[in-house]
C-alpha cells in the first residue's frame, strides 16, 4: 500500500518504479538468465523454449530492471534539472502502469506465445510498452524544450535517450505483432538484436551519461566537461547506434558487403564514442570533495562502473575493427560479451552508486549515520564478480568452448542474483521513508 500511496505525493512518485525494477530483476530477469545459461551448459533446450526464455530474459532486464529504474529516476530528475514540472502529474503513474503492465503480460505470455490465447497477450505487451515509451518521451522532451538553459549539455543526452526508447519499443511492437501472428514464441533473432542494442546503448547508457554530465562537475567541484568533446560524443554515439541498428535489420533481409561494413564500423564507433566520454568526464581524476565523507563511499560504485565502461568500450572498438579487417560482422558472442560487461559491470554497478547519491530514501539513511559499509562492500564485490564471470563466459564461448563458457555464465548468474537480493534487502530494510527534497541537497 505504501508503494501505491507513493503515487499521490509527487516527491515519492519514483518509489514504485524502483521497487518494480528490482522486482523484475530479482524475481524474473536474473533468474531467467541463470536458467538459460544453466540449461545451455548441460546441452538442454528447456523443452524447446530456450530461445524464447533467453529473449524474455534480455527484454525483462533491459525494459524491466533498467527501463523502470531509468524512467522513474528520469521523471524525478529531469524536471528538477530543467525546472519544469510534469503536468499533469498523473503522467508519472500512467507511465509506470503502462510499462509494468506490458512487462507482466510479456513475462506471462512469451514462453507459451506459440499458441492462442497467449499470443494475444504477447501482442498486447508490445502495445503497452510502446505507449509507455511515448508518454515518457513526451514528458522528457517537454521538460528539455521548456527548461532553463543547460550549459552541461545533459539535455541533448536526455532527449536522445528518450527518443531511442521510443524507437526501440516501436520496433519491438512491430516484431512482437509479427511473432504473435505466426507459430513462433520468439521474435526475429537478428532484428531483436537491433532492439536490444538501441535499448542498452541508446536509451540506458545515454541516460546515465546525461546524469553524469550534470552531477560529476558538482561532486568534484570542477568545471563542466568540454562542451565540444561532449557534443562530439553525442553525435558519434547517435550515428553509431542508428548505424548498427539499421545494419542489423538490413542483415535480416540480405547479407551484403555494405551491411557488414556498416555493422562493424558502427559497433566500433559507439565504443569509440564511449571512450571519448570517459575522457570528457575525467571520472578517475580527483576527489569528490563536495560530497560528505559518508557519501564518498558511493563513488567507489560509480568509479568501478566507469572502469567497466572502459573495458567494454575498449573491447567494442577492438572487436569492431577486427571484424572489419576479417571482412565479417562482429561475432554473436563478441557482441554478447560486450553487452554483458556493459549491462552488469557498468549499468548494474552504477545504479546502486547513483541511487546512494541521489535517492532520498538512501541518502536519508546515510545521513542518519547507519553503517552500510559492509553491505556496500559485499554488493560491490558481488557485482564485479557477476560482471566478470558473465562477460568472460561469452568470451570463452566465442572460442567455441561452449560448455565451459555456459558454466562460467552460470556462476555469473548466481553472483548476480545474490547481488540483487542484497540490494533489495538493503532498500526494504529501511523502515522510515523520510524524504529530503532533492533541490535541498543537490547543489
Ligand atoms: C542487467 C543484466 C543483464 C542484461 C541487461 C542482459 C541482457 C541480455 C540480452 C539483451 C540478451 C540477448 C537476448 C536475445 O537474444 O534477445 C542476453 C542473453 C543472455 N543472457 Fe543476459 N543480461 C543480463 C545479465 C545476465 C546474467 C546475470 C546472466 C546469467 C547467466 C545472463 C545470461 C544470459 C544468457 C545465457 C544469454 C544467451 C546468450 C546466448 O546467446 O547464448 N544475462 N542477455
| Residue owning the nearest CA to atom 7 of ligand 1 | 58
- Quick one: how many helices (H) and strands (E) in the chain? 19, 0
The CA distance from 421 to 25, in Å, is 10
Q: How far is the CA of 110 from the centre of ligand 1 (A)?
A: 16
What residues have CB less than 8 Å from 235, skipping those under 6 apart? none
55 Cβ neighbours under 8 A, 6+ residues apart: 110, 186, 187, 189, 192
C-alpha–C-alpha distance, residues 218 and 438, integer Å: 14
pLDDT of 262: 97
CA of 400 to the centre of ligand 1 (A): 18
CA distance 7 to 2: 9
For residues 271-290, one letter each, b for 16 or more C-beta atoms within 10 angstroms of the residue's C-beta and e for the rest, the string is bbbbbbbbebbebeeeebee
- The pick from 68, 330, 340 for probing ligand 1's pocket by mutation, whose C-beta has the most ligand atoms within 8 angstroms, reads 340
Q: How far apart are CA 318 and CA 232, in angstroms?
A: 20
| Nearest residue by C-alpha to atom 15 in ligand 1 | 55
pTM value is 0.93
Helix 189-197, helix 154-181: angle, nearest 10: 160
Residue 399, Cβ neighbours under 10 Å: how many? 10
Ligand 1 centroid distance, CA of 365 (Å): 33
Rounded Cα distance between 258 and 197, Å, is 20
Q: How many CA atoms lie within 13 A of 162 on its CB side?
A: 26
Residues of the chain with pLDDT under 50: 1, 367, 431-443
Amino acid at each position: 500500500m505504501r508503494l501505491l500511496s507513493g503515487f499521490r505525493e509527487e516527491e515519492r512518485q519514483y518509489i514504485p518504479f524502483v521497487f518494480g525494477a528490482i522486482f523484475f530483476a530479482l524475481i524474473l530477469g536474473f533468474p531467467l538468465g541463470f536458467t538459460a545459461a544453466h540449461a545451455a551448459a548441460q546441452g538442454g533446450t528447456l523443452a524447446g523454449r530456450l530461445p524464447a526464455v533467453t529473449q524474455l530474459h534480455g527484454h525483462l532486464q533491459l525494459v524491466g530492471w533498467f527501463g523502470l529504474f531509468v524512467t522513474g529516476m528520469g521523471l524525478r530528475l529531469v524536471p528538477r534539472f530543467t525546472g519544469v514540472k510534469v503536468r499533469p502529474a498523473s503522467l508519472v503513474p500512467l507511465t509506470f502502469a503502462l510499462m509494468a503492465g506490458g512487462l507482466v503480460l510479456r513475462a506471462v505470455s512469451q514462453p507459451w506465445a506459440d499458441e492462442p490465447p497467449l499470443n494475444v497477450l504477447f501482442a498486447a505487451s508490445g502495445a503497452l510498452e510502446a505507449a509507455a515509451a511515448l508518454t515518457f518521451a513526451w514528458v522528457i522532451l517537454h521538460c528539455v524544450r521548456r527548461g532553463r538553459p543547460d550549459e552541461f549539455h545533459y539535455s541533448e543526452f536526455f532527449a536522445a535517450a528518450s527518443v531511442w526508447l521510443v524507437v526501440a519499443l516501436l520496433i519491438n511492437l512491430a516484431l512482437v505483432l509479427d511473432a504473435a501472428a505466426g507459430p513462433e514464441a520468439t521474435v526475429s533473432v537478428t532484428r531483436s538484436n537491433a532492439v536490444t542494442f538501441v535499448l542498452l546503448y541508446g536509451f540506458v547508457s545515454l541516460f546515465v551519461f546525461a546524469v553524469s554530465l550534470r552531477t560529476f562537475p558538482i561532486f568534484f567541484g570542477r568545471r563542466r566537461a568540454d562542451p565540444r568533446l561532449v557534443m562530439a560524443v553525442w553525435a558519434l554515439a547517435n550515428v553509431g547506434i542508428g548505424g548498427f541498428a539499421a545494419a542489423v535489420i538490413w542483415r535480416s533481409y540480405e547479407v551484403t558487403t555494405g551491411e557488414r561494413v556498416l555493422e562493424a564500423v558502427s559497433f566500433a564507433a559507439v565504443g569509440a564514442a564511449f571512450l571519448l566520454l570517459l575522457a570528457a568526464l575525467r571520472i578517475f581524476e580527483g576527489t569528490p570533495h563536495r560530497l560528505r565523507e559518508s557519501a564518498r563511499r558511493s563513488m567507489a560504485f560509480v568509479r568501478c562502473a566507469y572502469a567497466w565502461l572502459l573495458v567494454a568500450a575498449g573491447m567494442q572498438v577492438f572487436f569492431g575493427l577486427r571484424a572489419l579487417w576479417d571482412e565479417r560482422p562482429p561475432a554473436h558472442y563478441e557482441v554478447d560479451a560486450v553487452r554483458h560487461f556493459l549491462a552488469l559491470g557498468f549499468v548494474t554497478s552504477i545504479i546502486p552508486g547513483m541511487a546512494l547519491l541521489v535517492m532520498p530514501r538512501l541518502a536519508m539513511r546515510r545521513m542518519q549515520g547507519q553503517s552500510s559499509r559492509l553491505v556496500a562492500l559485499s554488493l560491490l564485490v558481488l557485482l564485479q564478480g557477476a560482471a566478470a564471470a558473465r562477460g568472460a563466459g561469452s568470451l570463452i564461448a566465442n572460442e567455441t568452448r561452449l560448455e565451459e563458457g555456459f558454466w562460467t555464465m552460470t556462476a555469473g548468474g548466481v553472483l548476480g542474483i545474490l547481488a540483487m537480493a542484497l540490494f533489495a534487502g538493503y532498500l526494504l530494510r529501511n523502515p522510515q521513508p523520510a524524504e529530503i527534497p532533492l533541490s535541498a541537497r543537490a547543489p
